[in-house]
Amino acid sequence: MRLLLIADTHVPNRARDLPAPVWAEIDRADVVIHAGDWVAVDLLDAIEARCDRLVGVVGNNDGPDLAARLPEVARVELGGVRFAVVHETGPAKGREQRCASRFPDVDVLVFGHSHIPWDSVAETGLRLLNPGSPTDRRRQPACTYLTAVASGGQLDQVTLHRLPPRRP
């Protein structure tokens, strides 16, 4: 099961649209996971129309129209892997322990908010993934997103993709 993990898209505030490589991944993915900060419901509608399956959550920059359609926490099993998706996890310091306590029954926690890619494993075995942002790199060298494969209870081929700079 091919997965696309994105967060912090901020369309249309940070970009008019998602970059073409992200749309291509949406078309290829079996499941798109979006960890919040969509900003406009139009992007939610567009991704839903193009993907096979969407698992998304609301972020702190998302208004009532998005909050009416998206949960704060999503839980799903994909390819035998138990996922939780949230927008915010708090400060980096102590993140693994805090999230392992909050989500003891999942294998992978996907989160956003910081725009900083993150891939770590808590002592409990919980894997924490943040795909960064495909539209707003903030202090990062590039805009990013993640792809992965979930199969047979394993998450494999987790790949961070760096996007080329946008043309003015």
Q: What is the pLDDT along the chain (168 residues), one digit of tens a residue?
A: 999 999 999 999 988 999 999 999 999 999 999 999 999 999 999 999 999 999 999 999 999 999 999 999 999 999 999 999 999 999 999 999 999 999 999 999 999 999 999 999 999 999 999 999 999 998 899 999 999 999 999 999 999 999 998 765
How many Å separate Cα 154 from the centre of its chain?
Answer: 18
Non-local (6+) Cβ contacts of 161 within 8 A are 21, 25, 144, 145, 146, 147
The answer to whether the CB of 6 falls within 8 A of the CB of 131 is yes
Domains and CATH numbers, the chain: 2-162 (3.60.21.10)
Burial of 166 (0-12, 13-18, 19+ CB in 10 A): exposed
Q: Which residues contact 15 (CB under 8 A, 6 or more apart)?
A: 9, 135, 136, 166
Say if residues 163 and 20 touch (Cβ distance below 8 Å).
no
Would you say 95 and 123 are in contact if contact means Cβ atoms under 8 Å apart?
A: no
Q: What is the C-alpha end-to-end distance of the chain, expressed in Å?
A: 36
pTM of the full structure: 0.96
Which pLDDT score, from 0 to 100, does residue 94 have?
Answer: 96
- Say what the pLDDT of residue 113 is: 97
